[in-house]
Structure 1
Amino acid sequence: MGTVRQVQITFDCAQPGRVARFWCEVLGYVTEAKDDDPSAAASDPTGAGPRLYFQRVPEGKVVKNRVHLDVRVGTGLAGEERLAALQAESDRLIALGATQVQVLLADEENESCIVMQDVEGNEFCLD
């Protein structure tokens, strides 16, 4: 059996086009999503990142995600410099329709991160 080399991340959602466009803005991905399509996809134009797939489902989100994306905006940064970069990205994403849920400050084991929700309430972290 061969080794899997690529993955696609799938989102269940009510408005696939809207959610796809949000994630394209977050990650610099591209899509041709329309609001009335039952599904949409977003891809990294460089080919480096995974494809994101958005499918319409009838039920709404009711519990916390078991899997989430970490948007790596603070890589290599620490302390106040890291927190400032995370907050700047949080502000940009809030303007796109995201919600900031919680700021987790650095401790002895982990650097700071910010828990966010996308336009349909799916959790993700700015890391």
Structure 2
Amino acid sequence: MASVNQFQVTFDCAEPERVARFWCEVLGYVVPPPPDGFATWEEYDRTLPPEVQGAWFACVDPSGAGPRLFFQRVPEGKVVKNRLHLDVRVGTGLVGEQRLAVLEAECARLVALGAVRVRLLRADGVNESCLVMQDIEGNEFCLD
């Protein structure tokens, strides 16, 4: 039987720390402690060569259940639709107007953090309603 390995989700972005801190707020994740011998990530970053300072940042699920999220700086901007996206499961088990109310409330919270509402996909008899959104650098995700 094959074993399941741990994995992380990696985001290409222009501003790794900014995007990581956004996703901390979305998911309730936290920034892990800096490496031993450093009081802060900023202190650690200053020890790196200038060309790699601020090149990456990460956040983790404080319960240890969810995957680590890793954000790496890339020179090119986002130009096409994501082939992979996160579904943020805020309406699990809810249907109809109750589900829509929860999705809309979470959407409002995330828009205040800099997310963009793209469109509402209404229930169609097969799938329940969800909200398509973009994070602060345009990466698509769904409130599901």
Q: TM-score range by the shorter chain?
A: over 0.9
Describe the superposition over 1:61-98 as per-residue Cα deviations: whole angstroms up to 9, x where unpaired. 00000000000000010000000000000000000000
Query: 1:62 and 2:79 equivalent?
Result: yes
Q: CA separation in 2, counterparts of 1:85 and 1:43? A: 25
In our comparison, the structure showing a higher alpha carbon Rg is 2
- Displacement of 1:2 in angstroms is 5.4
Please name the residue that 1:97 is paired with.
Answer: 114
Query: 1:111 and 2:128 equivalent?
Result: yes
Runs of at least 5 residues in structure 2 that lack an aligned partner in the other structure:
33-40, 46-52
What TM-score do you get using the length of structure 1 for normalisation?
0.95
Q: CA separation in 2, counterparts of 1:115 and 1:82? A: 14
Query: 1:73 and 2:73 equivalent?
Result: no
- Displacement of 1:4 in angstroms is 2.8
What TM-score do you get using the length of structure 2 for normalisation?
0.84
Describe the superposition over 1:27-55 as per-residue Cα deviations: whole angstroms up to 9, x where unpaired. 00011666961100010000011100000
Structure 1 runs of 4+ aligned residues shifted over 3 Å read 32-36
Classify the secondary structure of the residue corresponding to 1:115.
strand
> Percent identical across equivalent pairs?
71
Please name the residue that 2:56 is paired with.
Answer: 39
Runs of at least 5 residues in structure 1 that lack an aligned partner in the other structure:
none
Classify the secondary structure of the residue corresponding to 1:11.
strand
Q: CA separation in 2, counterparts of 1:60 and 1:101? A: 19
Q: CA separation in 2, counterparts of 1:6 and 1:70? A: 19
